[in-house]
Chain A
Amino acid sequence: MSLALIAALPFLGALLPGLMIRAGRTACATATGAVTALALFLLALQAPAVLRGEVVQTRIDWLPALGLNATFFLDGLGLLFAGLILGIGLLIILYARFYLSKSDPMGQFYTYLLLFQGAMVGIVLSDNILLLLIFWELTSLSSFLLIGYWKHLPEGRQGARMALAVTGGGGLAMIAGMLILGNIVGSYDLTVILENKDLIQASDWYLPALILILLGAFTKSAQFPFHFWLPHAMAAPTPVSAYLHSATMVKAGLFLMARMWPVLAGTPEWFWIVSTAGLVTMVMAAKIAFFKDDLKALLAFSTVSHLGLITMLLGFGTKAAATVAVFHIINHATFKAALFMSAGIVDHEAHTRDLRRLGGLRTLMPITFGIVVLASLSMAGIPPLNGFLSKELMLEEAAHTTWITPWAMGLLATIGAMFSVAYSFRFLAHGFLGPVRDDYPHKPHDPGFGLWAAPGLLAALVVIIGLVPMATAAWLVDVAASAVTGEAVHVHISHWHGLYAPALWMSLAAIGGGLVMLGAYPRLRAMWDATPRPEAKRIFDGIVEPLAALSRSVTEGLHNGGFARSLVLAVLAIAGAAYWAFDGGSHLAGSRPTLPVTPVTAIVWAVMVIAALVTPFLHRNRLVALILTGVVGLLIAPLFMLFSAPDLALTQLSVEVVTILLMLLALHFLPKETPVESTVPRRLRDAGIAGIAGIGIGGLAYAMMTRGPAFDPISHFHLAQSKPGAGGTNAVNTIIVDFRGYDTFGEIIVLGIAALVIFALSRTLLHDATVNRRLAAQPRQAESGDRHPMMLVVSTRLLLPMAMMVGVYIYLRGHNLPGGGFVAGLVFAIAYLMQYMASGYDWSHARQRYDHHALIGWGVLIASLAGIGPWFLGLPFLTSGYEYVHLWPLEEFEVATAAIFDLGVFLCVLGAILLALASLSRLALRTGEGANTRAYDIEEGT
């Protein structure tokens, strides 16, 4: 449990800074520090057990199905890293309290820092690689926030994005690698994986897994060729650089390589990839560091170089080299963090970090100078400081490693060390030695204790470890290295390995060479400046910006808002997929006898097909197109009728006429002509696409019609039960109001919604200034002076009641004969529309006693209540019943509750159509035009 708590504490604590900042900056820092200290304390409680060689474990089931569990374990390696993270974290918190200015949002900073800290602790304590991945990505995210903390700096924003892109991307690769590993072993538990070296290394998937995992590690640890992001991350505040980019996050990659070392290392692939990457990184980054003027950039490349060194050591795959790697991790953390903080102090005090503008700080900032001397000499590998110890051991290992040739590794390592000496000395010499200047941007002096305490402590460690390594560090190296190698390690660290140790001479060569290089700096710098070299940021931008631009052009090119193209692709996809599916099945031509062609049908058919075919040729005159569409629609009705579907004919007809009215209303607002815009090839293409669709659908229709259904259709039940079960002889109607009344319920709601949408949009349009301007500016055609011809008005007075009568008749007989609430509603609606057309909207509407909205609402309500009613009898929604009633003196008649539902249908349809067309006609009332107050315009009776 306590391991989980250690990992969780920083996350829980991340809530504190935001709250505590109200109590002041010190309180905020104290709270943050307390959280870290508590975690460190808890870790320390576990340390004795680990030092005894035990492995402390905590397991909380989280997602057992996937094998992702909150499983933690603490061994030597974990202890080392967790200690570093929390320990240095504590120092950074202290340092940051004094480093951040008053204008910086400190609460945010500490929150991000604690999130990061938690993620790092999580990585090093995870006993589950999926859990580890989670923490891994969390470090990328939290570091993104930390690097971009100073969001006003463009470098900060870009650096943050670059870091996220590289480390996040590597993390994604690592996900794949880890999953492969888990699949090979059959478990995502690290402890299980670590026991399966042979299984893993024998697997075909070993190399892919290795490469993917190393991608994660290399990106995080800024190994060549992914080293370029780290210097750009230096735009972050110095505490961030010191913490993330020297002590912790960049070491996560190393940690991972160390962690996986027992199962991944020891193969030629591992050796070649890891040690080569490390070696190249070490040498190249050291060289670059030498020429950097920005203190933090110099330190950043130096960090890259040292990480390369450690990577290289891990790559050797030997127990001894791994042990040295562990030792150097400790040492590097101490001197590099101290140096970063010192650089921050210089920046803080002198307001510059540029080596060209510094120099002579030795006397102005003696304390800082002292710290820098110790740390930079350690970095240079000068005895007896701790950096010397591990570098010596490294050179020894390098000298005994064959890489291409027996001596190449040793030589390159020495060259790397030489550069390392050179930049360390340059840091010291160009920054602190030399004459005192009078042109610092700000007069520097030593900072207060709060700011130098942390680097001071680290510098002390540099010395102490350097002097008495066996007493101070060896135990930690032992447990950690044992954990890495899986074998008991008892390291022996000494300052003197004898005259025959190659490392001695390599070391001397490095120091000598470094001094010479520092002396020759101006000339070397001139050569360096003269050499063209790729700039990381430009390369990164050169990849990412074109990628983004490409994405943009692909995306916008693909989704360019063109409707026709999207439709063409859809049609082709559908046709292609359908053909492919058809081709993959077997098809027997149908054997159902076909109907003879009857003359009436043939005529209707021919007229309809011809009218349809002509439409594309005549469609530019929109009224003509509409008339032709109307012809086709009207002729479908008799087709339905001829093929035994009178109900459909009724519905089709009444819907068609309302549609025509609607389209005419719409055409009033729209242009009357469609301009010629498409080219002939395009029209041919469209015709081709249309042809494909037509042939496909026609073919399917033919194939379907010429065969019988494979199984007894369910409609046999409907036919059989229409009369006895649903009490109606019109099977279509009983399906609509009873068997499948629920469909109808949905359908009337669709219609109701349509009307509401039309109402809402037309109201929005009427409130829109642009729309009103355009409406007022609509060109007016020559218009008849007779708005409401008297004859129409008079005939409507008769037609309206007549049509209503017909509507009621159709409604009542629907259950038994063609008709029903739907058609009745349409007939009523058409009758009302006739009235509206005859006498105009205002005159007619003023005399309307009920509201269209209410009609829709009542329709839905009545239909719903017809559905809900049966609940009270314990029956399901929409259950209907019917009864034959005999009331003297009337003949026996049938009362069906389905009629109530049908009434709802009727009302909803009526309301919907009236509301829709009324909304459209409201829009047509031009601004400034008075309402008509008479039924007709003729001056009657004069």
Chain B
Amino acid sequence: MELLVAIAIGTLTAVGIYMTLRLRTFPVILGLTFLSYAVNLFLFVSGRLTLNAAPIIGTPEPYADPLPQALVLTAIVISFGMTAVIMIMAIGGYLSAGHDRIDLDAAEDGDAK
């Protein structure tokens, strides 16, 4: 099972990086989303894999490591906030520049006052 999960994490990372290397904001954001999936899983498995061992005290032992789960919760929420922000920025960039390329051109640099 560990191997499968590792492969999943690797795949998500690779897909995330590949998409993040695209030239338009939307696929880049999707790529970052994939990357965050990979990260969350990676963080989660730092507590190792367990089956049917939800860390609810009172249910039969053993318990999965609850700490990484709590950390992943935090990470999920944070990455949601970040995705939301970059999304509105992508919209703003597209609406104000008329295209959604992610690369900056030297010429437009610093026109903001």
Whether A associates with B in a native complex is yes
Interface residue ranges, A against B (CB under 8 Å): 556, 560-564, 567-568, 571, 592, 594-598, 601-602, 605, 608-609, 612-613, 615-616, 619, 622, 625-626, 629, 632-633, 636, 639-640, 642-648, 651-652, 655, 658-659, 662-663, 666-667, 669-671, 674-675, 677-678, 686-687, 689-691, 693-695, 697-702, 704-706, 708, 713-715, 718-719, 722-723, 729-732, 735-736, 740, 743-744, 747-748, 750-751, 753-755, 757-758, 761-762, 764-765, 768, 770-771, 774-775, 816-818, 822, 909, 912, 916, 919-920, 923
Contact across chains for B83 and A659 when beta carbons are under 8 A apart = yes
Instruction: List, in ascending order, chain A residues with CB within 8 A of B84's CB.
Output: 659, 662, 754-755, 758, 916
Contact across chains for A719 and B95 when beta carbons are under 8 A apart = no
What 18 new A-B contacts, CB under 8 Å, besides A629-B30, A648-B44?
A561-B103, A563-B102, A567-B21, A632-B12, A643-B44, A648-B76, A659-B80, A662-B84, A662-B87, A671-B24, A694-B15, A697-B38, A698-B9, A701-B9, A713-B65, A765-B95, A774-B96, A774-B98
Contact across chains for A754 and B73 when beta carbons are under 8 A apart = no
A-B contact pairs, 23 of them (CB 8 A): A556-B106, A609-B7, A612-B15, A622-B27, A632-B37, A636-B40, A642-B51, A643-B5, A645-B64, A648-B69, A675-B24, A677-B23, A693-B13, A693-B17, A694-B13, A698-B10, A713-B65, A729-B57, A730-B56, A743-B71, A754-B81, A770-B95, A771-B92
Contact across chains for A818 and B54 when beta carbons are under 8 A apart = yes
Instruction: List, in ascending order, chain B residues with CB within 8 A of A757's CB.
Output: 85, 88
**Residues of chain B at interface, number, CB under 8 A:** 90
Contact across chains for B100 and A644 when beta carbons are under 8 A apart = no
Given contacts A714-B67, A732-B55, contact A560 B10 (CB under 8 A): no
Contact across chains for B65 and A750 when beta carbons are under 8 A apart = no
Given contacts A560-B106, A715-B67, A765-B92, contact A701 B34 (CB under 8 A): no
Instruction: List, in ascending order, chain B residues with CB within 8 A of A689's CB.
Output: 17-18, 21
B3 vs chain A, min Cβ distance (A): 6
Chain B 81-113, CB-CB to A under 8 Å as 1, else 0, gives 111110111111011101010111110010000
Instruction: List, in ascending order, chain A residues with CB within 8 A of B6's CB.
Output: 698-699, 701-702, 705
Chain B 36-68, CB-CB to A under 8 Å as 1, else 0, gives 011011101111111111111110000111111
Complex Cα distance, B21 from A509, in Å, reads 78
A751 vs chain B, min Cβ distance (A): 5
Complex Cα distance, B79 from A662, in Å, reads 13
**Complex: chain A residue closest to B107, CB-CB:** A561
The 8 Å CB contact of A740, one of B63, B64, B70, B82, is B70
Contact across chains for A644 and B37 when beta carbons are under 8 A apart = no
Chain B interface SS verdict (over half): helix
Give how many A-B residue pairs fall within 8 Å (CB-CB). 328
**Complex: chain B residue closest to A765, CB-CB:** B92
A-B residue pairs, 5 tightest by C-beta: A698-B10, A694-B14, A561-B104, A754-B81, A702-B6
**Complex: chain B residue closest to A715, CB-CB:** B67
Contact across chains for A567 and B20 when beta carbons are under 8 A apart = yes
**Complex: chain A residue closest to B18, CB-CB:** A690
Complex Cα distance, B69 from A647, in Å, reads 8
Contact across chains for A670 and B85 when beta carbons are under 8 A apart = no
Contact across chains for A771 and B95 when beta carbons are under 8 A apart = yes
The 8 Å CB contact of A736, one of B51, B70, B78, B83, is B70
Given contacts A697-B9, A732-B73, contact A758 B85 (CB under 8 A): yes
Contact across chains for B12 and A612 when beta carbons are under 8 A apart = yes
Contact across chains for A750 and B78 when beta carbons are under 8 A apart = yes
**Complex: chain B residue closest to A923, CB-CB:** B91
**Complex: chain A residue closest to B7, CB-CB:** A698
**Complex: chain A residue closest to B97, CB-CB:** A770
Contact across chains for B64 and A605 when beta carbons are under 8 A apart = no
Contact across chains for B45 and A704 when beta carbons are under 8 A apart = yes
A670 vs chain B, min Cβ distance (A): 6
Complex Cα distance, B95 from A744, in Å, reads 34
Contact across chains for B66 and A609 when beta carbons are under 8 A apart = no
Instruction: List, in ascending order, chain A residues with CB within 8 A of B70's CB.
Output: 732, 735-736, 740, 743
The 8 Å CB contact of B77, one of A671, A694, A731, A822, is A822
Instruction: List, in ascending order, chain B residues with CB within 8 A of A626's CB.
Output: 30
Complex Cα distance, B24 from A633, in Å, reads 21
The 8 Å CB contact of A663, one of B42, B87, B96, is B87
B105 vs chain A, min Cβ distance (A): 6
Contact across chains for B81 and A735 when beta carbons are under 8 A apart = no
Contact across chains for B15 and A564 when beta carbons are under 8 A apart = no
Instruction: List, in ascending order, chain B residues with CB within 8 A of A909's CB.
Output: 77
Instruction: List, in ascending order, chain B residues with CB within 8 A of A671's CB.
Output: 24, 26, 94, 100
**Complex: chain A residue closest to B15, CB-CB:** A612
**Complex: chain A residue closest to B68, CB-CB:** A715
